Structure 1
Amino acid sequence: MQVTMTVNGSEVTEDVEPRMLLVHFLRDQLGLTGTHWGCDTSNCGTCVVLVDGEPVKSCTMLAAMAAGHEVRTVEGLERDGELDPVQQGFMECHGLQCGFCTPGMMMTARALLDSTPHPDEQAIREAISGQICRCTGYTTIVRSVQWAAAHEEGAAREPEPERGTGPTAAQPEASSQPRVTEHVGGAS
């Protein structure tokens, strides 16, 4: 079957098997290997991407379910050679650690900061509660998100679709399509 979606601001159309997971579509067909594949059970959160601005575990979403939606991966954070404040924060505050959970953590942090520009520590911890860090813990990750919040430029960091249409982080449009996945964080 053929699917069309917007990935990191560019429209893509590809043939996929109906059972192909979004994580495999992104990694194997589009070559976006920044999205990591960890557990296949929706437990670890390393595969988190944003679908229409919401964090989604791509190991439990079919590529076909993303048809017609906007998907943003960790590769889509950097803009015109400039790191997103979330990426910069992870560098500045040593949130990278081994790096395996980092892409999913960054995407969840980006979604949090887009919806809550100045989250407190508890809000950050709740937002990343659906993800597992197997290294030393979450202290430097929380610090990294706090750094990013303090250094946001104030402008929405969503990539603009090629056609110049679609929702932005500053003015979300209501979606007529039903929600197909759960939020990553602890509370919905």
Structure 2
Amino acid sequence: MAVTLTVNGTTRQVDADPETPLLYVLRDHLELNGAKYGCGIGQCGACTVMVGNEAVLSCVTPVLLLEGRSITTVEGLGTLEKPGPLQQAFIEEQAAQCGYCIPGMMMRAQALLQADPAVDEAAIRAHLEPNLCRCGTHMRIIKAVMRAGELMRQKSQSGGAS
């Protein structure tokens, strides 16, 4: 069955069973490999993407629920040539070690910062709690999210000019 999805601003039609988890559609059909398969049961957060403005676990979300909704993956935050504020902050703070959890962490952080780029460390910690990092780079991740909030506030104050 054909399912129409809007991913990173582009509308795509995918031939997939409506019960297929979004993660498999993203990786296998759309070749967007940022979201990772971690546990497959929604407990690690490696597969986190945004649906609308909300962080969602793509490994347990069937595509049938997403028709007509906007999906953002880590690939939609920026490019190698022009990284988005969150990506830039993760680079500057060297927040990734193995990198497996980073796309999910970034997407959960993006949802938080879109709602309020002035969040404090306690709010960041609470919001990122569902996402696991086995490498132990939590302190650098938190620092990067705080830096991204600062970059987003600066961009907003300057009228969005780069």
The residue that corresponds to 1:147 in the other structure is 147
The residue that corresponds to 1:162 in the other structure is none
Structure 1 residues 99 and 80, CA gap change in structure 2 (3 angstroms): closer
Letter in 2 for 1:87: Q
What SS does structure 2 have at the residue aligned with 1:59? helix
Mapping of residues 7-46 of structure 1, within 5 Å: 7-46=7-46
**TM superposition shift of 1:28:** 0.2
**TM superposition shift of 1:68:** 1.1
CA distance in 2, matches of 1:30, 1:79: 17
Mapping of residues 33-182 of structure 1, within 5 Å: 33-78=33-78, 81-152=81-152, 153-154=155-156
Which structure has the highest helix share of the two? 2
1:100-157 superposed Cα distances (whole Å, 9 cap, x missing partner):
000001111111110011110000001101100001241110000011111111168x
**TM superposition shift of 1:55:** 0.4
**TM superposition shift of 1:18:** 2.7
**TM superposition shift of 1:79:** 5.5
**TM superposition shift of 1:65:** 1.3
Q: Could you tell me which runs of 5 or more consecutive residues in structure 2 were left unpaired when the two chains were aligned.
A: none
TM-score of the pair, normalised by structure 2: 0.92
Letter in 2 for 1:97: Q
Structure 1 stretch displaced more, 23-32 or 87-96 = 87-96
Letter in 1 for 2:22: L
Letter in 2 for 1:20: T
CA distance in 2, matches of 1:7, 1:80: 18
CA distance in 2, matches of 1:138, 1:81: 26
Q: Could you tell me which runs of 5 or more consecutive residues in structure 1 were left unpaired when the two chains were aligned.
A: 157-188
**TM superposition shift of 1:49:** 0.4
Letter in 2 for 1:42: G
Letter in 1 for 2:113: L
CA distance in 2, matches of 1:116, 1:147: 13
After TM superposition, where is structure 1 displaced by more than 2 Å over at least 4 residues in a row? none
